[in-house]
Amino acid sequence: MSLAFVFPGQGSQAPGMGRDLADAFPIARETFQEVDDALGQNLAKLMFEGPAEELTLTANAQPALMAVSVAVCRVLAKEGGFDLARRVALVAGHSLGEYSALTAAGTFDLATAARLLRLRGTAMQKAVPAGQGAMAALLGAEAEQAAAICAASEQGEAGREVVQVANDNGGGQVVISGAKAAVERAVEAAKAAGVKRAMLLPVSAPFHCAMMAPAADAMAEALAKAAMAHPAVPVVANVTAAPVSDPDAIRDLLVNQVTGTVRWRECVAAMVAAGCTTFAEVGAGKVLTGLMKRNAPEATALALNTPADIEAFLKGA
């Protein structure tokens, strides 16, 4: 059995996240305090109690999700003697989850990751004025069809407008992103093409498209100054769907990720091809566990979120 750890992205946050871990494990409380100290904010209180609207803000959700994922990894190590470097073959994360994966594997220290994600969230929010961008889910579409729909929808009355595939999640779930008018045209085109369901998403900015270029520039500057080490295990990068261990390459890939497609379907396929048969989603929610059942139905998929999840995993590990 070859084990991969996967780390969730934005959308998995919810009030109450991490609270049961903090109640059960001192190392989890220490982890959340370390993030709070790095950010100069009581993020843990927001995670535990909400309100949901504030937790969902990109600048809060990104470090919060990373904090829960790293807390789970630290609990596994402290309570169960689980050695990630020895027991896990590959790590990968969905969008911001790539930072969680890299932190779990030792590329970033926790405080650095928290500050990078705070900057990333703030920069992504500022990159496009409110109301100018949009994202939409195309359910029942594959990436190639979605890309063709985007290409045909770029030209509008105002000229050429960005719309591109943001997330290829697999299992017929593709998310597109770009200028609001172009995304709306793509939604209508998808419906006309017989896509099962096409709908705008309630997001605050058009993530993972060319309109995020100002945020990519901000991350390039921040990552150039950030201390980075070789990860203890290779990380499968979002934008290449291939394992990488060199810090300089990782830095470039993280910059490209801001405007590039999250190739999650291909990331999972790469991990399966490398021999991974068990996938543990480390952190809040079960979004990736659900996707795993579509992308790799022959694999074992499980979520490590609650103290009970952790106990059961350590018993079987």
Cβ atoms within 10 Å of 167's Cβ, excluding its own: 25
The CATH code belonging to domain 3-127+211-316 is 3.40.366.10
Burial class (CB in 10 A: 0-12, 13-18, 19+), 210: middle
Per-residue confidence at 203, pLDDT binned at 50, 70, 90? confident
User: Which class in CATH covers the domain with range 133-203?
Assistant: alpha beta
Q: What angle do CA 246, 249, 252 make, to 5 degrees?
A: 150
Q: How far is CA 172 from CA 82, 140, 198, 288, 297, in A?
A: 35, 4, 12, 14, 14
Q: 3-127+211-316 with 133-203: one CATH topology?
A: no
- The answer to whether 204 and 125 are in contact (CB under 8 A) is yes
pTM: 0.96
What are the catalytic residues? 95, 208
- Using the predicted structure, report yes or no on whether residue 157 has a pLDDT greater than 80: no
CB-CB contact of 174 with 137 (8 Å)? yes
Distance CA 306, CA 232 (A): 25
Q: What percent of the chain has pLDDT over 70?
A: 99
Please answer whether residues 67 and 43 qualify as being in contact, where contact means their C-beta atoms are separated by less than 8 angstroms.
yes
Which of these ranges, 33-47, 154-168, 201-215, has the smallest mean pLDDT?
154-168
Domain ranges of the chain: 3-127+211-316, 133-203
DSSP output for 180-222: HHHHHHHHHHHHHTT-SEEEE---SS--SSGGGHHHHHHHHHH
Alpha-carbon dihedral sign for residues 257, 9, 277, 294: negative
Report pLDDT digits (tens) over 1-46. Answer: 599 999 999 989 999 999 999 999 999 999 999 999 999 999 999 9
**Side-chain half-sphere exposure of 275, counting CA atoms within 13 A:** 4
Closest by CA to 291, choosing from 267, 273, 265, is 265
Average the pLDDT over 188-217 and give the result: 95
Per residue in 43-56, pLDDT tens?
999 999 999 999 99
Contact indicator for 136, 186 with CB cutoff of 8 Å: yes
